[in-house]
Amino acid sequence: MENKIPKSDIRINLGCGGRPLPGYINVDLDTIEQMKVRYPGTVFPEGVEVYQYDIFNLPFPDGSVALIRADSLLEHLSFLEESKIFQEVKRVLSPGGCFEFSVPDFEETVRLWLQAKDEWKDFFRNDPEAIAAQHWFGQYSYSTESRWGYLTASIFGPQNSEGQFHKNCYTENKIRALLHRIGFEVDELSRFNWKGDRNLMIFVRARKKSS
């Protein structure tokens, strides 16, 4: 692999899910063949590969990677795994290397949850029809008017398949403090909606300090 990609140009896409990117070393639990089955409507870039590396022990030398991105990955890791992943990112990134990631905006989601109606109506669903339609909230839609549908799933994860559980959460203050502690500078921290008018997210671009 190192013969194909110069060390200074190595870019890694951790936990790529159904979004492997050309020009990146895509890493996920699923193979590309499994992804094509799981996401039948997705058109994957031609020739893209996905590697099943251990994200806590990446097969790259210290300081050899230019960029790591992790979209909607960190919230799926436990408290102890959180420490491991940030230390591993720091290890493999070169001085000045960039870490880009996005996580659910826990503070804003909780604010909406507290403002919403405490009006339980129905159990969540896990049948094939509901999952295929991405609508496993029983009688609920993606509305934020009630606590017990989409908003609850945003906090704890949709839980409709293995790995779709949230074990961690992030706020702006936590992110800044965590990155400062491990020796990163924040270049950008912004908020966005991942799916149009929903999925409140925080995007971060941070750089490993040179010394």
Domains in the chain, ordered, with CATH?
7-105+170-208 (3.40.50.150), 107-156 (no CATH)
- Please tell me the distance from the alpha carbon of residue 192 to that of residue 34, in angstroms, as a whole number: 29
Share of the chain above pLDDT 90, in %: 65
Going by pLDDT thresholds of 50, 70 and 90, the confidence category of residue 39 is confident
Question: Is residue 208 scored above 60 in pLDDT?
Answer: yes
* Neighbouring residues of 32: CB distance < 8 A, sequence distance ≥ 6: 20, 44, 48, 49, 50
Query: For position 127, what pLDDT does the model report?
Result: 79
Given this model, what pLDDT does residue 61 score?
96
Q: Residue 67 forms beta bridges with which residues?
A: 11, 98
Q: Tell me the C-alpha distance between 14 and 199, whole Å.
A: 20
C-alpha distance from residue 194 to each of 38, 96, 103, 104 (Å): 20, 28, 10, 9
SS3 136: coil
**Quick one: pLDDT at residue 1?**
42
pLDDT exceeds 60 at position 14: yes
The model's pLDDT over 45-103, given as tens digits with 9 standing for 90+, comes to 998 999 999 999 999 999 999 999 999 999 999 999 999 999 999 999 999 999 999 99
Contact at 8 Å (CB) between 13 and 26?
yes
Q: Please report the pLDDT score of residue 131 as a whole number.
A: 66
Q: In the prediction, which pLDDT does 196 show?
A: 65
- Residue 21 sits at the vertex; the CA angle it makes with 16 and 26, to the nearest 5 degrees, is 50
pLDDT at residue 5, rounded to an integer = 44
**Residue 6: pLDDT over 60:** no
Instruction: Give long-range contacts, CB 8 A cutoff, 24+ apart: 17-22.
Output: 17/71, 17/72, 18/42, 19/71, 20/44, 20/45, 20/48, 20/49, 20/50, 21/45, 21/48, 22/47, 22/48
- Arithmetic mean of pLDDT over the chain: 89
**Out of 91-95, 121-125, 138-142, 159-163, which region has the weakest mean confidence (pLDDT)?**
138-142
> What pLDDT digit, counting tens, does each position of 96-119 carry?
999 999 999 999 999 999 999 999
Q: Among residues of the chain, what percentage have pLDDT more than 70?
A: 90
Task: Give mean pLDDT, residues 10-16.
Answer: 97
Residue 197 binned pLDDT confidence (cut-offs 50, 70, 90): low
Q: 193 falls in which pLDDT band (50, 70, 90)?
A: confident
CB 109 within 8 A of CB 211: no
Q: What is the pTM for the complete model shown?
A: 0.88
